C-alpha cells in the first residue's frame, strides 16, 4: 500500500510539473506575442497615444478650473486696476493704471517690473467669473514652452529624431503635471503662477529662440529669432529673480559654447544676452528693493553660504522629486532614449561635464531665496525648479545613453590603445557596464517600456490616496461635488462683497473645498492681512469670517 501511495504522489507531482511547464510556456508565448505587437507599433502612433494620455490627464484639471476663484495677492495687486475698470469701463485706462502702479512698486517695493505689471492685470478685475482662464493660460504656456524647448534640445543638440523626441516630452509633461509640487500655485493662482510659471515659460521660449538662431543656416531666420530672443529676454529680466538668475547662467553657457565652436554666431547669441542682462540689472537695482529690505530686514545667508547651501538643497529636492511614479516613467523611457541616442550622429564625449553643469543650474535656482530670506521650499518657486530638474534628468539620461552607445566609435577616433584578445592576435575591448546595460535595453525591445507603462497606469489610477496625483484629485472633487459646492459658496460671498448696501461683512466658512485649491481663507480676525486685502478691494468697513458656533456638548466638557 505504501508503494501504491508513493506512486500516486509521484504521478500527482508529475501532473503539477506538467501543468506548470504548460503555464510557463503559455506565458512565454503571450509575452512574446505582446512584445512582437509592441515592437510593431510605429513611433508616430506612440506619439499619438502619449498625446491622448496627456490631454486626457489635463481635462479634469481644466474642468476644475471652471470653479476657480480670485484669492490671496490677486486682491492687493489688482485693487487699483479694478477701481479704474469699475469707474471708467475702459481697458486702456486700466492698463495705464497697471503701469503707473508698476512704476510706483518699482520705486517703493520691488523691481520685478514685468511681473508686477502683469499681476495687476488679473482677469478677475474685469470679470470675476473669468478665473477659469487662469489654468488654461498657465498650462498652455508652460506645457507648450517646455515641449518646444525639450524637443529642440533632444533634436538639435543631441541629434534625436523629432518623432521620438516628441514622445519623450509628452511623457515628461504627463509626469510633471501629475506630481507637480504645488498644483494650486502653479495652475490656478493667477498672481503666483504669473510671477513664476509664466516667466519661466517665457525663458523656455527665449532659450529656444536663441538656440534656433544659433543653429539656423538662413540669415533671415537667424535675424528673426535673434530679435525675438532679444525682446523675450527683456521680459525674463523683469520677472522673478530665480528665473532671471537662471537665464543669466544659461545664456553665459551658450555664449561660451558659441565662442569655442562657432564664433560667426556670436552676435545672434550675444544680443539677447546683453538685452536680458540690462533688464535683469534694472530689476536687481530697483530703488524699491532697497526700501523693501529696510522695512523687512533680510534674514538670508551670505552670498557664499547661499551658494554652498544651494548644492545641498538641490540634492535633497532631487531625492524628493523621484517618487515611484517618476522612477517608473523614467524606466519606461530608457529603451526609447537608448534607441534615439544610438541612432544620433553626435559624439557625446563629455557626459560628466554635462551632468555637472545640469546639477549646477538646478542648484543655482535655490540660491536667490537662500540669500534673500534664508530658506527654501517656497511652493510656487519649487514648481519651476521641479520642471527644470525633470528636463535635466531626461536630457542628461539621453546624453549618457549616447555616450555608452557611441563609446566604441569615440574610442576608434581617438585611437585609444586596446587590449589584444589572447591567442588570436585580434584587438578587442571589453564592454563596460553602460554598454552591457544598453544591450539589455535592446534585447528587452518594447517589453520594458510596456511593463513600466502598465505599472504607471496602475499606480496612477488605483492609488489609495486619491489626492496624490493631480488629475485623479481634480476628478474626485468634480465627481463628489466639492468643486460645485465651493464655487457656489464663493459666489455667495462675492454677491455680498459687491452689494453696496453691506459695508460690515461677515461670511461663512467654506463647507467644502477641492484639495487642489490649497489657499488660505479669511479668518475671524478682521485685521488679518488677507481680510484687509479683500476689505480694501471691495471698499468695506471690515471683512471677516463669521465666528464658528460653539457646540454645547463641548462647553459641558
pLDDT in tens, 213-232: 999 889 899 999 999 999 99
Lowest mean pLDDT among 238-242, 287-291, 467-471, 547-551: 547-551
Q: What mean pLDDT comes out for the span 346-352?
A: 91
| Nearest of 138, 273, 131 to residue 192 by alpha carbon | 138
Distance CA 432, CA 413 (A): 18
Crossing angle of helices 351-364 and 303-320, rounded to 10°? 110
At residue 431 the predicted structure's pLDDT band, cuts being 50, 70 and 90, is low
**CB–CB of 398/337 below 8 Å?**
yes
Higher confidence at residue 429 or residue 332? 332
Q: Is the pLDDT of residue 548 over 80?
A: no
pTM for the model: 0.88
Q: Give pLDDT, residue 451.
A: 82
Distance CA 479, CA 60 (A): 10
Sort 126 into a burial class: Cβ within 10 Å, 0-12 / 13-18 / 19+. Answer: middle
User: What grid cell was written down for 482?
Assistant: 466639492
Distance CA 422, CA 432 (A): 19
Distance CA 123, CA 129 (A): 9
**CB–CB of 485/514 below 8 Å?**
no
Q: What mean pLDDT comes out for the span 434-457?
A: 76
**CB–CB of 505/540 below 8 Å?**
yes
Q: Is the pLDDT of residue 374 over 70?
A: yes
Q: Is the pLDDT of residue 551 over 50?
A: no
Q: What mean pLDDT comes out for the span 56-75?
A: 95
pLDDT one-digit tens code per residue, 163-214: 999 999 999 999 999 999 999 999 999 999 999 999 999 999 999 999 999 9
pLDDT one-digit tens code per residue, 511-520: 999 999 988 8
Distance CA 392, CA 385 (A): 10
Lowest mean pLDDT among 101-115, 289-303, 424-438: 424-438
At residue 32 the predicted structure's pLDDT band, cuts being 50, 70 and 90, is low
State the Cα angle at 213 between 207 and 219, rounded to 5°: 165
Q: Give pLDDT, residue 38.
A: 63
Q: Is the pLDDT of residue 3 over 60?
A: no
Q: Give pLDDT, residue 27.
A: 54
Q: What mean pLDDT comes out for the span 304-328?
A: 95
Q: Is the pLDDT of residue 297 over 70?
A: no
Lowest mean pLDDT among 21-25, 45-49, 150-154, 357-361: 21-25
Please enumerate in sequence order all residues whose Cβ is within 8 A of that of 267, keeping only pairs 6 or more positions apart, or say none: 226
At residue 299 the predicted structure's pLDDT band, cuts being 50, 70 and 90, is confident
Domains of the chain: which residue ranges?
12-41, 64-409, 480-556
Assign 3-class secondary structure to 365-433: CCHHHHHHHCCCCCHHHHHHHHHHHHHHHHHHHHHHHHHHHCHHHHHHHHCCCCEECCCCCCEECCCCH
Distance CA 100, CA 84 (A): 12
User: How many C-beta atoms surround the C-beta of residue 163 within 10 A?
Assistant: 16
- Provide DSSP, 499-551: -TT--EEEEPPPS---TT-------S-TTSHHHHHHHHHHT-SEEEEPPPPPP
Amino acid at each position: 500500500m505504501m508503494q501504491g501511495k508513493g506512486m500516486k504522489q509521484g504521478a500527482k507531482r508529475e501532473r503539477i510539473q506538467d501543468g506548470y511547464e504548460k503555464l510557463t510556456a503559455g506565458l512565454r508565448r503571450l509575452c512574446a506575442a505582446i512584445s512582437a505587437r509592441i515592437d510593431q507599433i510605429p513611433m508616430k502612433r506612440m506619439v499619438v497615444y502619449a498625446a491622448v494620455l496627456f490631454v486626457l490627464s489635463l481635462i479634469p484639471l481644466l474642468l476644475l478650473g471652471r470653479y476657480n476663484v480670485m484669492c490671496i495677492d490677486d486682491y492687493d495687486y489688482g485693487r487699483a486696476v479694478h477701481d479704474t475698470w469699475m469707474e471708467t469701463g475702459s481697458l486702456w485706462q486700466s492698463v495705464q493704471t497697471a503701469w503707473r502702479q508698476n512704476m510706483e512698486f518699482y520705486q517703493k517695493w520691488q523691481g520685478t517690473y514685468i511681473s508686477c505689471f502683469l499681476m495687476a492685470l488679473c482677469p478677475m478685475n474685469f470679470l470675476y467669473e473669468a478665473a477659469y482662464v487662469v489654468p488654461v493660460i498657465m498650462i498652455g504656456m508652460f506645457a507648450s514652452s517646455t515641449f518646444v524647448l525639450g524637443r529642440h534640445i533632444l533634436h538639435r543638440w543631441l541629434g534625436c529624431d523629432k518623432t521620438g523626441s516628441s514622445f519623450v516630452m509628452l511623457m515628461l509633461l504627463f509626469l510633471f503635471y501629475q506630481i507637480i509640487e504645488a498644483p494650486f500655485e502653479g495652475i490656478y493662482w493667477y498672481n503666483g503662477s504669473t510671477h513664476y510659471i509664466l516667466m519661466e515659460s517665457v525663458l523656455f521660449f527665449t532659450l529656444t529662440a536663441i538656440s534656433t538662431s544659433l543653429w539656423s543656416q538662413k540669415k533671415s531666420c537667424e535675424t528673426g529669432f535673434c530679435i525675438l530672443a532679444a525682446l523675450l529676454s527683456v521680459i525674463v529680466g523683469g520677472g522673478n529673480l530665480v528665473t532671471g538668475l537662471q537665464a543669466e547662467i544659461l545664456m553665459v553657457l551658450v555664449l561660451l559654447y558659441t565662442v569655442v565652436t562657432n564664433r560667426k554666431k556670436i552676435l545672434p547669441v550675444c544680443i539677447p544676452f546683453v538685452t536680458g542682462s540690462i533688464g535683469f540689472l534694472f530689476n536687481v537695482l530697483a530703488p524699491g528693493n532697497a526700501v523693501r529690505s529696510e522695512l523687512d530686514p533680510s534674514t538670508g545667508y551670505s552670498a557664499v553660504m547661499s551658494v554652498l547651501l544651494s548644492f545641498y538643497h538641490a540634492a535633497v529636492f532631487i531625492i524628493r522629486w523621484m517618487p515611484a511614479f517618476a522612477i517608473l516613467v523614467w524606466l519606461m523611457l530608457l529603451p526609447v532614449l537608448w534607441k534615439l541616442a544610438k541612432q544620433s550622429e553626435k559624439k557625446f564625449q563629455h557626459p560628466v561635464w554635462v551632468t555637472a553643469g545640469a546639477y549646477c543650474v538646478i542648484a543655482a535656482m535655490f540660491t536667490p531665496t537662500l540669500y534673500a530670506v534664508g530658506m527654501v521650499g517656497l511652493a510656487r518657486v519649487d514648481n519651476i525648479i521641479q520642471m527644470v530638474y525633470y528636463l535635466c534628468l531626461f536630457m542628461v539620461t539621453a546624453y549618457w545613453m549616447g555616450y555608452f552607445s557611441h563609446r566604441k566609435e569615440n574610442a576608434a577616433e581617438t585611437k585609444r590603445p586596446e587590449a589584444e584578445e589572447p591567442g588570436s592576435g585580434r584587438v578587442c575591448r571589453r564592454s563596460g557596464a553602460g554598454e552591457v546595460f544598453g544591450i539589455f535595453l535592446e534585447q528587452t525591445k518594447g517589453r520594458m517600456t510596456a511593463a513600466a507603462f502598465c505599472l504607471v497606469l496602475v499606480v496612477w489610477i488605483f492609488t489609495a490616496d486619491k489626492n496624490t496625483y493631480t488629475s485623479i484629485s481634480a476628478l474626485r472633487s468634480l465627481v463628489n461635488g466639492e468643486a460645485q459646492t465651493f464655487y457656489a459658496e464663493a459666489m455667495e460671498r462675492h454677491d455680498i462683497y459687491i452689494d453696496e448696501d453691506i459695508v460690515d461683512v461677515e461670511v461663512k466658512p467654506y463647507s467644502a473645498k477641492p484639495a487642489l485649491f490649497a489657499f488660505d481663507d479669511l479668518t475671524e480676525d478682521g485685521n488679518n492681512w488677507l481680510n484687509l486685502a479683500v476689505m480694501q478691494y471691495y471698499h468695506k468697513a471690515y471683512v471677516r469670517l463669521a465666528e464658528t458656533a460653539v457646540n454645547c456638548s463641548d462647553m459641558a466638557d
